[in-house]
Amino acid sequence: MNEFDWIRSIAPKSHHRSSVIQGIGDDAAVFRPRCGWDMVTAVDSFSEGVHFTRETMPLDAIGYKLLAANVSDLAAMGAVPLYYLVSAAIPAEGWELSELDPVYAGMKRLGDACSMDLIGGDTISTGNGLVLTVTVIGRVEQDCSLLRSSAKPGDVLFLTGPVGLAAAGLNRLLTHGRSVWGDDPDIQAHQYPVPHVAYGRLFAESGLRVAVNDVSDGIAHEAEEIAEASGAAVTIIREQLPETGLNAERAELENWMLRGGEDFVLIGTASRADFRHLQETCCLQKLPLYAIGYVEAGEAHVFMERNGKRERLTGGGYSHF
Amino acid sequence: MNEFDWIRSIAPKSHHRSSVIQGIGDDAAVFRPRCGWDMVTAVDSFSEGVHFTRETMPLDAIGYKLLAANVSDLAAMGAVPLYYLVSAAIPAEGWELSELDPVYAGMKRLGDACSMDLIGGDTISTGNGLVLTVTVIGRVEQDCSLLRSSAKPGDVLFLTGPVGLAAAGLNRLLTHGRSVWGDDPDIQAHQYPVPHVAYGRLFAESGLRVAVNDVSDGIAHEAEEIAEASGAAVTIIREQLPETGLNAERAELENWMLRGGEDFVLIGTASRADFRHLQETCCLQKLPLYAIGYVEAGEAHVFMERNGKRERLTGGGYSHF
């Protein structure tokens, strides 16, 4: 099967979204936006050896997780996911075109769950190591996108789920490889993270001022981004971080929770009154929402409070260089 | 400079398009579509050693040309280019982050010329060889996109410019490397191709039925795509192909013209009457339009007519695998 036949084989035969005017099969894709909505777009790449190895990730999980990371960015803006495009740079050795089928199937599984359509892509050859790039496009009601710059002193800092599980799973996968693949929550959290689209939509639809980031790089870093974009100080209260059920040394557990990343839950802030309202609305949909700290006037730093004592946290975040 | 600082350094400080609500600096970008228009999007990747080497391409040309290849896809749909996103997978060895500055500057040069805004991206590390992926987004009047499936028997086949120059340039670059860098038309055609946005807009604004492909893979292949998508036979008349001014053996020249690719002109079809109208309109804007063949009922094959004799052409097109 050559490249052109393979592209035909992965091109969807029908679309979830009637707004797709032209999908795969022309020079570019065409879709019809809905009046009164803004479009939201993001791009993320995964490279073999850096984001995954064949020991840490089943083939379908590679595709699933890359799309999940992108959809999580849409969720963090409050957007409805709509479409995605995939570019694959495939090494001359070590990968068969047919091995990409499960990778694309993993993307399709999440895409279908979100009623997203694959509308474009590119496949090229490269020297060494698979590089996959996904672009996602979604929509959000005009002026309702959840910007990280909108936090204000007095806000509650919240999380939409526990953090640290994905890092704990990666830690076990790097040590034990495929032998630990399976249903354990930390392994699932690393391989098949669930983007929190429902939360994002609920926040955007509320029309309230909600500052949101997705937790791709660890909450210390994400909180720092909110602090810097909003020009305020953010404090995380250690005792209020939701339990993960993980069994580990205190320091290691805390490192995973604060700097682990790739949990793809949302971290955000809202005024005290709005937070109570959001928590009740979330509760009705069986979506827990955890208050984990607060925002106050001051330099754009992040602090951690533990046993009533406060120290400054430096964000970190994974730098590729 | 770490990754986060570098991203800040390349993020635009202002935008050409007032429709950009949120550019680089949040989880995703937000833009406001215009009612009554469709959105058009495409993605293309370049990888080192396959699409370019440091001998064939100056750093700024790498960025310029990748964006040009994408913009050419928008042009082939009749779209106005608006935004682009860039993902860079940077090898641990052989590339400094600072060397990406000219690459991004090359993109910015074309982006500025098209009033396009860089609104998102990702930078990751990879094992070996730079891989760059660009996603472009544009808009076209509703139901006016130029689909390759709309050719009909009786149509004129046309080109918006000569083909073969880019392949001739590549041929010299592969043999002589940097010593032939400069202003020669074939070298410029390979390194700094000009996407034919003005033609695409003129065709889309005409409201006429115009089938269009951009010439990324050689006209034999592009004509085959039109033939297959439209279910008709397409004939290229050898004597009507526009002159390139190239000096080469007949067989070599013809190979470059038919299969060379990367010229990024547009190939298309329109009814005889519409073609005359389009040619006049193009002429007023000093944009030459060349009739190079015809469409007729029959199997979806491509033929070449030379001295009144006709033979079947097989498309080819560069398959990466």
Q: pLDDT value at position A3?
A: 77
Q: pLDDT value at position B169?
A: 97
Q: Which of B45, B48, B121 sits opposite A87 (nearest CB)?
A: B45
Q: pLDDT value at position B52?
A: 95
Task: Write out pLDDT tens, residues B137-167.
Answer: 999 999 999 999 999 999 999 999 999 999 9
Contact criterion met (CB below 8 Å) for A193 and A262: yes
Best of B66, B87, B90, B133 to mutate (most A CBs within 10 Å, chain A): B133
Task: Write out pLDDT tens, residues A168-189.
Answer: 999 999 999 999 999 999 999 9
Position A317 confidence tier, pLDDT thresholds 50, 70, 90? low
Q: Which of A32, A39, A319 sits opposite B142 (nearest CB)?
A: A32
> CA-based Rg of chain A, rounded to a whole angstrom?
20
ipTM of predicted complex: 0.95
Residue A97 to residue B321, Cβ atoms within 8 A: yes
Which residues are bridge partners to B45 per DSSP?
B133
Domains of chain B with CATH codes: 3-141 (3.30.1330.10), 148-313 (3.90.650.10)
pLDDT at position B98 over 90: no
Position A201 confidence tier, pLDDT thresholds 50, 70, 90? very high
Q: Which of A2, A39, A43 sits opposite B31 (nearest CB)?
A: A39
Which residues are bridge partners to A213 per DSSP?
A267
Q: pLDDT value at position B316?
A: 62
Assigned token pair, B13: 């400080």
Position B127 confidence tier, pLDDT thresholds 50, 70, 90? confident
Position A238 confidence tier, pLDDT thresholds 50, 70, 90? very high
Assigned token pair, B265: 């002109």
Mean pLDDT check: name the lowest of A93-97, B129-133, B236-240, B301-305.
Answer: A93-97
pLDDT at position A300 over 90: yes
Q: pLDDT value at position A170?
A: 97
Task: Write out pLDDT tens, residues A143-171.
Answer: 999 999 999 999 999 999 999 999 999 99
Q: pLDDT value at position B153?
A: 98
Q: What percent of chain A is modeled with pLDDT above 90?
A: 90
Report how far residue A170's alpha carbon sits from residue A177's, in angstroms, rounded to the nearest whole number: 9
Residue type for B206, please?
Answer: S
Contact criterion met (CB below 8 Å) for B226 and B152: no
Is A290 annotated for ligand binding?
no
Position B128 confidence tier, pLDDT thresholds 50, 70, 90? confident
The mean per-residue pLDDT over the stretch A3-24 comes to 93
Q: Name the phi and psi angles at B318, rounded to 5.
A: -75, 115
CB contact residues (below 8 A), chain B span 142-201, against chain A: 142-143, 145, 147-149
pLDDT at position A78 over 80: yes
The mean per-residue pLDDT over the stretch A82-100 comes to 93
The mean per-residue pLDDT over the stretch B105-115 comes to 98
* Interchain CB contact of A101 with B (< 8 Å): no
CA distances to A75, B167, B188 from B54, in Å: 40, 17, 16
CA distances to A30, A46, A116, A315, B101 from B124, in Å: 29, 7, 25, 19, 15
pLDDT at position A7 over 90: no
Measured between CA atoms, how close is A282 to chain B, in angstroms?
22
SS3 of residue B263 by DSSP? coil
Mean pLDDT of chain A: 95
CB contact residues (below 8 A), chain A span 247-306, against chain B: none
Q: What percent of chain A is modeled with pLDDT above 70?
A: 98
Q: pLDDT value at position B314?
A: 80
- H-assigned helices in chain A: 3-10, 59-75, 100-113, 165-176, 185-191, 197-206, 219-230, 250-259, 272-284
Q: pLDDT value at position A318?
A: 59
End-to-end CA distance of chain A: 38
Burial B120-142 (b: 16+ CB within 10 A, else e): bbbbbbbbbbbbbbbbbbbbbbe
Position A315 confidence tier, pLDDT thresholds 50, 70, 90? low
pLDDT at position A316 over 80: no
Distance of CA B68 to the CA centre of its chain: 6
Best of B6, B24, B27, B47 to mutate (most A CBs within 10 Å, chain A): B27
* CA atoms within 13 Å, Cβ hemisphere of B258: 23
Contact criterion met (CB below 8 Å) for A232 and A300: yes
Task: Write out pLDDT tens, residues B196-252.
Answer: 999 999 999 999 999 999 999 999 999 999 999 999 999 999 999 999 999 899 999
Contact criterion met (CB below 8 Å) for B139 and B34: yes
Instruction: Report the length, in residues, of chain B.
Output: 321
Assigned token pair, B6: 């570098």
pLDDT at position A299 over 90: yes
Position B185 confidence tier, pLDDT thresholds 50, 70, 90? very high
Report how far residue A122's alpha carbon sits from residue B43's, in angstroms, rounded to the nearest whole number: 6
pLDDT at position A320 over 70: no
Q: pLDDT value at position B65?
A: 98
Mean pLDDT of chain B: 95
Is A84 annotated for ligand binding?
no
* Interchain CB contact of B230 with A (< 8 Å): no
